[in-house]
């Protein structure tokens, strides 16, 4: 595992975007697994800039996304579909035909079949990840077991509290569709980006010596053969990288 510590989140985002651009240069029809939340926004800004400047060609790139709130329509302003269109896909000229994301308002069993069939037929070339304060990746919340495929998850109180700000004046949904940890681990390359001291505890379970446990889902990245983690200095305060971490 590679660890790249930057002065700022903006700097981490530039480097992470550079790694994604490299992936697309190597494979024009790459399947990118993308993420939502505050953390990846500047990564998308960098990728859109690269697109506008003609430095990266998104014309054959395909995108899949980690998760979606259950019950939300795609055009709901709080949906992750809406987030992805607004923050990246529209500006990168990626149409729905090249974008796969759980449909929040679909019949759950049929939707899970659709998503798991897609995952079985397509290997993600590069999966971009953020991490929750509680160590979740996608919406894989702390649990007794790691889930393999797409499933529906009950959001924890902590996650609902962290994300309530995105639902002004309304209640945040209690459940979500999410890609499983197995799907994430099958990606050829994983790029995780995180910043700030509120994520230190979660990253300690990846970067320091200690058990891999579904109680802190992000810890499983210790087992990924091609994972790069971009963090800022503030997050790293108090973390001593364990053996097997290549600090760049």
Catalytic amino acids? Answer: 67, 134, 136, 141
Closer residue to ligand PGA in complex, CB, 87/100: 87
Closer residue to ligand PGA in complex, CB, 99/139: 139
Q: How far is the CB of 170 from ligand PGA (least distance, A)?
A: 18
Closer residue to ligand PGA in complex, CB, 132/173: 132
Name the DSSP class of 173: P
Closer residue to ligand PGA in complex, CB, 28/198: 198
Report the interface residues with ligand PGA, using CB under 6 A: 37-39, 130-132
Q: Region of 47 please: left (phi>0), alpha (psi -120 to 50) or beta.
A: alpha
Q: Which two tokens stand for residue 214?
A: 């579904």
Q: How far is the CB of 73 from ligand PGA (least distance, A)?
A: 22
Q: How far is the CB of 88 from ligand PGA (least distance, A)?
A: 14
Q: How far is the CB of 238 from ligand PGA (least distance, A)?
A: 19
What is the rounded CA–CA span in Å between residue 2 and residue 243?
Answer: 11
Q: Which two tokens stand for residue 218?
A: 């992000």
Q: Which of 131, 172, 138 is nearest to 152 (CA)?
A: 138
What is the rounded CA–CA span in Å between residue 174 and residue 147?
Answer: 19
Q: Which of 108, 179, 100 is nearest to 147 (CA)?
A: 179
**Strand-strand pairing, 31-34 and 126-129:** parallel
CA geometry: angle 80, 110, 188, nearest 5 deg: 60
Q: How far is the CB of 101 from ligand PGA (least distance, A)?
A: 15
Closer residue to ligand PGA in complex, CB, 136/246: 136
Would you tell me how many other CB atoms lie within 10 Å of the CB of residue 168? Answer: 7
């Amino acid at each position: 595992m590679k660890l790249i510590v930057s002065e700022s989140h903006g700097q981490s985002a530039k480097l992470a975007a550079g790694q994604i651009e490299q992936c697309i240069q190597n494979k024009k029809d790459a399947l990118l697994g993308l993420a939502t939340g505050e953390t990846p926004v500047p990564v998308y800004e960098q990728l859109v800039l690269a697109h506008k400047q003609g430095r990266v060609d998104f014309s054959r790139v395909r995108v899949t996304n980690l998760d979606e709130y259950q019950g939300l329509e795609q055009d709901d302003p709080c949906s992750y579909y809406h987030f992805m269109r607004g923050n990246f896909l529209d500006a990168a000229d990626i149409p729905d035909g090249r974008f796969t994301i759980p449909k929040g308002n679909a019949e759950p069993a049929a939707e899970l079949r659709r998503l798991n069939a897609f995952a079985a037929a397509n290997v993600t070339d590069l999966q971009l990840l953020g991490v929750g304060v509680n160590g979740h990746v996608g919406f894989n919340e702390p649990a007794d077991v790691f889930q393999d495929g797409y499933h529906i998850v009950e959001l924890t109180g902590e996650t609902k509290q962290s994300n309530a700000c995105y639902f002004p004046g309304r209640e945040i949904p209690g459940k979500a569709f999410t890609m499983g940890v197995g799907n994430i681990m099958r990606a050829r390359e994983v790029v995780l980006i995180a910043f700030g001291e509120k994520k230190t505890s979660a990253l300690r379970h990846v970067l320091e010596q200690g058990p891999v446990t579904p109680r802190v889902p992000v810890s499983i990245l210790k087992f990924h053969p091609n994972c790069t983690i971009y963090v800022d200095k503030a997050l790293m305060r108090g973390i001593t990288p364990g053996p097997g971490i290549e600090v760049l």
